[in-house]
Amino acid sequence: MIAMCGADWHMKPVLLVIDIQNAFLDANKGLRKSVEKRVRVINDAIRFFRRRKLPIVVVYHTEEKEGPKPGTRQFEFSPAIDIKRTDAKVIKNYPNAFNKTPLEKIVRRRGCDTVVIAGLSASGCVLATYVGAIDRDLEPYLVQDGVAAGKEEYVRFAEDICKTLTIRKLSRILT
């Protein structure tokens, strides 16, 4: 527990790592460069959650007609991202990872009240999921410098309008 604004506040976070799939990185050089610039921060967030035994959910995007298709290289996450087979996984068909998926049940079952988001795209699925968390009475944050986009101004926009946390600040909050 920490004191914030005179009240006791407890944070039970889950990390969502969204859509860092080969299909999107192969199709968009700007997106690939943006992810490469942020790999260290994203992996630091993943390692932080693992060390603290906090839940991680890996979110994949697919569309019935356009793919990428589960079971293909294009569907899989970039090997640069330190996900594990044991991480919870959600497959989505909409930008908001909560829309018509079991994500909210997974988050609630783990007793989480806070969603920390890394991945892509800052102005698309990350932003839609951030708002989706608010709609479900969850407290959302972006990992500062842990979201990517095809254009850097989209990253700055998302970080300007959303609450962000560095891993260092999250560590202080959770002690």
- Tens of pLDDT, residue by residue over 148-158, are 999 999 999 99
**Residue 65 vs residues 7, 68, 103, 147, 152: alpha-carbon distances, Å:** 49, 9, 23, 27, 29
Query: What SS3 class is residue 36?
Result: helix
Domains of the chain: 11-173 (3.40.50.850)
What average pLDDT does this structure show over 37-57? 97
Q: Considering the chain, what percentage of its residues have pLDDT values greater than 90?
A: 88
pLDDT value at residue 65: 85
Tens digits of per-residue pLDDT, 52-94? 999 999 999 999 888 899 999 999 999 999 999 999 999 999 9
The C-alpha atoms of residue 19 and residue 62 are separated, in whole angstroms, by: 9
In sequence order, which ranges of 5-151 are alpha helices (DSSP H)?
Answer: 22-27, 29-51, 103-109, 125-135
Put simply, whether the predicted model's pTM sits higher than 0.85 gets the answer: yes
| Among 76, 41, 59, CA closest to 155 | 41
- What separation in angstroms does the CA of 41 have from each of 35, 74, 132? 10, 23, 23
Q: Does position 5 have pLDDT exceeding 80, yes or no?
A: no
Structure tokens at 98: 């909560």
The Cα–Cα gap between 72 and 138 comes to 33
